[in-house]
Protein backbone atom coordinates (compact mmCIF):
# COMPACT_ATOMS: atom_id res chain seq x y z
CA UNK A 1 0.00 0.00 0.00
CA UNK A 2 1.27 3.49 -0.85
CA UNK A 3 2.49 5.50 2.12
CA UNK A 4 0.27 8.58 1.67
CA UNK A 5 1.31 10.38 4.89
CA UNK A 6 4.98 10.08 3.86
CA UNK A 7 4.20 11.41 0.39
CA UNK A 8 2.25 14.37 1.79
CA UNK A 9 5.12 15.18 4.15
CA UNK A 10 7.71 15.29 1.38
CA UNK A 11 5.32 17.31 -0.77
CA UNK A 12 5.36 19.92 1.98
CA UNK A 13 9.16 20.00 1.90
CA UNK A 14 9.18 20.14 -1.90
CA UNK A 15 6.80 23.11 -2.04
CA UNK A 16 8.65 24.93 0.75
CA UNK A 17 11.87 24.70 -1.23
CA UNK A 18 10.06 26.24 -4.18
CA UNK A 19 8.99 29.34 -2.23
CA UNK A 20 11.83 30.46 0.06
CA UNK A 21 13.79 33.63 -0.76
CA UNK A 22 17.17 35.13 0.01
CA UNK A 23 19.26 38.24 -0.64
CA UNK A 24 22.79 39.15 -1.66
CA UNK A 25 25.05 42.18 -1.74
CA UNK A 26 25.94 44.15 -4.87
CA UNK A 27 29.21 43.09 -6.48
CA UNK A 28 30.09 46.39 -8.21
CA UNK A 29 32.21 45.62 -11.28
CA UNK A 30 31.25 41.98 -11.12
CA UNK A 31 32.73 38.82 -9.66
CA UNK A 32 35.14 36.72 -11.73
CA UNK A 33 32.74 33.75 -11.70
CA UNK A 34 29.04 34.19 -10.96
CA UNK A 35 26.66 31.28 -10.47
CA UNK A 36 22.98 31.98 -11.13
CA UNK A 37 20.10 29.66 -10.54
CA UNK A 38 17.58 27.88 -8.38
CA UNK A 39 17.67 24.96 -5.96
CA UNK A 40 18.88 22.60 -8.68
CA UNK A 41 22.20 24.42 -8.51
CA UNK A 42 22.08 25.67 -4.92
CA UNK A 43 21.35 22.88 -2.50
CA UNK A 44 22.12 19.36 -1.42
CA UNK A 45 19.36 19.57 1.18
CA UNK A 46 20.39 18.81 4.73
CA UNK A 47 23.94 17.91 3.71
CA UNK A 48 26.95 20.21 3.34
CA UNK A 49 25.05 23.28 4.50
CA UNK A 50 26.83 26.59 3.78
CA UNK A 51 26.38 28.60 6.96
CA UNK A 52 28.00 31.66 5.37
CA UNK A 53 25.10 31.99 2.92
CA UNK A 54 21.66 33.43 3.74
CA UNK A 55 19.96 30.64 5.70
CA UNK A 56 16.83 30.50 3.57
CA UNK A 57 18.90 29.88 0.44
CA UNK A 58 19.99 26.47 1.71
CA UNK A 59 23.13 26.73 -0.38
CA UNK A 60 25.53 23.85 -0.17
CA UNK A 61 29.29 23.91 0.30
CA UNK A 62 29.37 21.05 -2.23
CA UNK A 63 27.10 22.37 -4.96
CA UNK A 64 28.14 22.40 -8.59
CA UNK A 65 29.24 26.07 -8.67
CA UNK A 66 31.47 25.62 -5.61
CA UNK A 67 33.04 22.51 -7.14
CA UNK A 68 33.68 24.30 -10.44
CA UNK A 69 35.29 27.25 -8.67
CA UNK A 70 37.55 25.02 -6.59
CA UNK A 71 38.65 22.86 -9.50
CA UNK A 72 39.35 25.82 -11.79
CA UNK A 73 40.74 28.19 -9.16
CA UNK A 74 38.14 30.90 -9.81
CA UNK A 75 36.72 33.45 -7.38
CA UNK A 76 33.03 32.66 -7.10
CA UNK A 77 30.01 34.76 -6.19
CA UNK A 78 27.35 32.08 -5.75
CA UNK A 79 23.90 33.64 -6.09
CA UNK A 80 21.98 30.38 -6.57
CA UNK A 81 18.99 30.08 -4.31
CA UNK A 82 15.99 27.89 -3.63
CA UNK A 83 12.74 29.13 -5.19
CA UNK A 84 14.46 31.38 -7.72
CA UNK A 85 12.59 32.18 -10.92
CA UNK A 86 13.79 33.90 -14.07
CA UNK A 87 12.38 37.22 -12.84
CA UNK A 88 14.62 36.98 -9.78
CA UNK A 89 17.67 37.32 -11.99
CA UNK A 90 16.77 40.92 -12.83
CA UNK A 91 14.48 42.10 -10.03
CA UNK A 92 14.31 41.65 -6.26
CA UNK A 93 12.86 38.31 -5.26
CA UNK A 94 11.09 40.15 -2.45
CA UNK A 95 11.46 43.66 -1.03
CA UNK A 96 15.06 44.00 0.14
CA UNK A 97 16.24 40.87 -1.67
CA UNK A 98 18.74 41.64 -4.41
CA UNK A 99 18.48 40.44 -8.02
CA UNK A 100 20.97 37.72 -8.86
CA UNK A 101 22.31 39.87 -11.69
CA UNK A 102 23.68 42.29 -9.09
CA UNK A 103 26.76 40.04 -8.99
CA UNK A 104 27.39 40.56 -12.73
CA UNK A 105 29.65 43.22 -14.19
CA UNK A 106 32.29 43.98 -16.80
CA UNK A 107 34.94 42.03 -14.88
CA UNK A 108 32.87 38.84 -14.90
CA UNK A 109 34.56 36.13 -16.98
CA UNK A 110 32.37 33.09 -16.32
CA UNK A 111 28.66 32.68 -15.63
CA UNK A 112 26.81 29.42 -15.08
CA UNK A 113 23.02 29.41 -15.28
CA UNK A 114 20.57 26.77 -14.09
CA UNK A 115 17.06 28.16 -13.78
CA UNK A 116 13.55 27.80 -15.20
CA UNK A 117 12.02 24.82 -13.43
CA UNK A 118 10.06 26.97 -10.99
CA UNK A 119 8.75 29.14 -13.84
CA UNK A 120 7.57 25.96 -15.59
CA UNK A 121 5.75 24.89 -12.38
CA UNK A 122 7.62 21.58 -12.41
CA UNK A 123 7.09 20.88 -8.71
CA UNK A 124 3.34 21.38 -8.89
CA UNK A 125 2.94 19.18 -11.96
CA UNK A 126 5.20 16.44 -10.58
CA UNK A 127 3.29 16.34 -7.30
CA UNK A 128 0.04 16.09 -9.24
CA UNK A 129 1.44 13.04 -11.06
CA UNK A 130 2.38 11.32 -7.81
CA UNK A 131 -1.04 12.02 -6.29
CA UNK A 132 -2.79 10.84 -9.46
CA UNK A 133 -1.20 7.44 -8.97
CA UNK A 134 -2.75 7.23 -5.52
CA UNK A 135 -6.13 8.81 -6.09
CA UNK A 136 -6.61 7.95 -9.76
CA UNK A 137 -6.91 10.25 -12.71
CA UNK A 138 -4.54 11.70 -15.27
CA UNK A 139 -0.96 12.59 -14.44
CA UNK A 140 -0.92 15.89 -16.31
CA UNK A 141 -2.61 17.60 -19.21
CA UNK A 142 -1.36 19.79 -22.03
CA UNK A 143 -1.06 22.72 -19.61
CA UNK A 144 2.28 21.29 -18.42
CA UNK A 145 3.74 21.54 -21.92
CA UNK A 146 2.36 25.08 -22.18
CA UNK A 147 3.93 26.06 -18.86
CA UNK A 148 7.32 24.78 -20.04
CA UNK A 149 7.11 26.46 -23.44
CA UNK A 150 6.13 29.76 -21.80
CA UNK A 151 9.56 30.21 -20.22
CA UNK A 152 11.28 30.63 -23.60
CA UNK A 153 10.65 34.36 -23.99
CA UNK A 154 11.63 35.50 -20.46
CA UNK A 155 14.60 33.14 -20.46
CA UNK A 156 15.85 34.57 -23.76
CA UNK A 157 15.40 38.13 -22.53
CA UNK A 158 17.39 37.36 -19.38
CA UNK A 159 20.25 35.86 -21.39
CA UNK A 160 20.31 38.89 -23.66
CA UNK A 161 20.55 41.23 -20.66
CA UNK A 162 23.20 39.03 -19.09
CA UNK A 163 25.36 39.31 -22.19
CA UNK A 164 25.06 43.10 -22.09
CA UNK A 165 26.03 43.28 -18.42
CA UNK A 166 29.00 40.94 -18.80
CA UNK A 167 30.28 41.33 -22.38
CA UNK A 168 33.58 39.53 -21.63
CA UNK A 169 31.99 36.55 -19.88
CA UNK A 170 31.58 33.02 -21.16
CA UNK A 171 28.05 31.93 -20.32
CA UNK A 172 27.22 28.26 -19.74
CA UNK A 173 23.67 26.99 -19.35
CA UNK A 174 23.33 23.46 -17.99
CA UNK A 175 20.24 21.40 -18.56
CA UNK A 176 18.35 18.93 -16.41
CA UNK A 177 19.78 15.39 -16.23
CA UNK A 178 17.77 12.19 -16.26
CA UNK A 179 15.52 12.04 -13.21
CA UNK A 180 13.28 9.02 -13.85
CA UNK A 181 14.07 5.74 -15.55
CA UNK A 182 11.55 3.90 -17.70
CA UNK A 183 8.93 2.26 -15.50
CA UNK A 184 9.86 4.18 -12.37
CA UNK A 185 10.46 2.37 -9.06
CA UNK A 186 8.89 1.94 -5.59
CA UNK A 187 10.96 4.81 -4.19
CA UNK A 188 8.92 7.17 -6.38
CA UNK A 189 5.80 6.78 -4.28
CA UNK A 190 2.60 6.81 -6.31
CA UNK A 191 4.27 7.35 -9.68
CA UNK A 192 2.83 4.87 -12.19
CA UNK A 193 5.10 3.55 -14.98
CA UNK A 194 3.41 5.60 -17.70
CA UNK A 195 3.54 8.67 -15.50
CA UNK A 196 7.25 8.15 -14.88
CA UNK A 197 7.77 8.51 -18.62
CA UNK A 198 5.58 11.62 -18.62
CA UNK A 199 7.66 13.27 -15.89
CA UNK A 200 10.95 12.56 -17.66
CA UNK A 201 9.52 13.81 -20.95
CA UNK A 202 8.69 17.09 -19.23
CA UNK A 203 12.31 17.51 -18.10
CA UNK A 204 13.46 16.70 -21.63
CA UNK A 205 11.11 19.35 -23.03
CA UNK A 206 12.49 21.86 -20.52
CA UNK A 207 16.00 21.03 -21.76
CA UNK A 208 14.95 21.67 -25.34
CA UNK A 209 13.43 25.07 -24.56
CA UNK A 210 16.48 26.24 -22.61
CA UNK A 211 18.94 24.89 -25.19
CA UNK A 212 17.23 26.84 -27.98
CA UNK A 213 17.33 30.04 -25.96
CA UNK A 214 21.00 29.54 -25.14
CA UNK A 215 21.91 28.96 -28.79
CA UNK A 216 20.02 32.07 -29.87
CA UNK A 217 21.85 34.32 -27.43
CA UNK A 218 25.47 33.21 -27.58
CA UNK A 219 25.47 31.03 -24.49
CA UNK A 220 26.86 27.49 -24.44
CA UNK A 221 24.28 24.85 -23.56
CA UNK A 222 25.61 21.84 -21.65
CA UNK A 223 23.61 18.62 -22.01
CA UNK A 224 23.87 16.58 -18.80
CA UNK A 225 21.40 13.87 -19.79
CA UNK A 226 23.91 11.35 -21.22
CA UNK A 227 26.28 11.56 -18.26
CA UNK A 228 23.41 10.98 -15.83
CA UNK A 229 22.20 7.71 -17.35
CA UNK A 230 22.16 5.09 -14.60
CA UNK A 231 22.19 7.79 -11.91
CA UNK A 232 18.46 8.56 -11.85
CA UNK A 233 16.33 8.58 -8.69
CA UNK A 234 15.83 4.81 -8.87
CA UNK A 235 19.57 4.11 -8.65
CA UNK A 236 21.02 3.06 -5.28
CA UNK A 237 21.99 5.62 -2.67
CA UNK A 238 25.52 6.81 -3.31
CA UNK A 239 25.03 6.44 -7.07
CA UNK A 240 21.87 8.39 -7.80
CA UNK A 241 22.18 12.07 -8.67
CA UNK A 242 18.77 12.99 -7.22
CA UNK A 243 16.90 11.81 -4.17
CA UNK A 244 13.52 10.13 -4.81
CA UNK A 245 10.36 10.67 -2.77
CA UNK A 246 11.71 8.27 -0.17
CA UNK A 247 14.77 10.48 0.24
CA UNK A 248 17.66 9.05 2.25
CA UNK A 249 20.59 11.35 1.42
CA UNK A 250 19.30 14.92 1.32
CA UNK A 251 15.68 14.62 2.53
CA UNK A 252 14.67 16.70 -0.50
CA UNK A 253 13.04 14.70 -3.33
CA UNK A 254 13.82 15.59 -6.93
CA UNK A 255 16.87 17.59 -5.79
CA UNK A 256 20.58 16.85 -6.26
CA UNK A 257 22.61 14.62 -4.03
CA UNK A 258 26.30 15.42 -3.52
CA UNK A 259 27.00 12.84 -6.22
CA UNK A 260 24.65 14.68 -8.56
CA UNK A 261 26.35 18.02 -7.98
CA UNK A 262 29.73 16.41 -8.60
CA UNK A 263 28.45 14.68 -11.72
CA UNK A 264 27.15 17.90 -13.26
CA UNK A 265 30.38 19.71 -12.35
CA UNK A 266 32.36 16.99 -14.09
CA UNK A 267 30.39 17.66 -17.29
CA UNK A 268 30.70 21.44 -17.09
CA UNK A 269 34.39 21.73 -16.18
CA UNK A 270 35.83 20.26 -19.42
CA UNK A 271 33.56 22.52 -21.48
CA UNK A 272 34.67 25.57 -19.50
CA UNK A 273 38.32 24.63 -19.93
CA UNK A 274 37.81 24.09 -23.65
CA UNK A 275 36.47 27.63 -23.93
CA UNK A 276 39.77 29.04 -22.72
CA UNK A 277 38.92 29.50 -19.05
CA UNK A 278 40.62 29.78 -16.70
CA UNK A 279 43.58 31.62 -18.07
User: Could you list the active site residues?
Assistant: 39, 255
Element (H, E) at 110: strand 110-114
How many other C-beta atoms can be found within 10 angstroms of the C-beta atom of residue 39? 31
Output phi, psi for 18, to 5 deg.
-95, 5
Output phi, psi for 76, to 5 deg.
-105, 135
Instruction: For residue 157, give every residue at least 6 positions away whose Cβ sits within 8 Å of its Cβ, in sequence order, or none.
Output: none
Instruction: For residue 132, give every residue at least 6 positions away whose Cβ sits within 8 Å of its Cβ, in sequence order, or none.
Output: 138, 139, 190, 192, 195
Give the DSSP per-residue string, 55-103: GGG--BTTSHHHHHHHHHT--EEE---TT--THHHHS-SSTT---GGGG
Helix axes 193-216, 152-165, angle to 10 degrees: 40
Query: What burial letters (b/e) apply to 153-174, b meaning 16+ CB within 10 Å?
Result: ebbbebbeebbebbeebbbbbb
Strand partners, 112: 35, 172
Amino acid sequence: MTNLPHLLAVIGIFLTLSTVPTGAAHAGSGAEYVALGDSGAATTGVRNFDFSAPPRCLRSTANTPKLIARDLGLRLDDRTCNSARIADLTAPQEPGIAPQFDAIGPDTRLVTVHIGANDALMAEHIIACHLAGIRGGACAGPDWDADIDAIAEPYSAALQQLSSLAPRAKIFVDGWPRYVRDGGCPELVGLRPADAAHVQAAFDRLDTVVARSAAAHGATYIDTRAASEGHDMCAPAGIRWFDPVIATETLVPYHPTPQGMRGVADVLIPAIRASGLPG
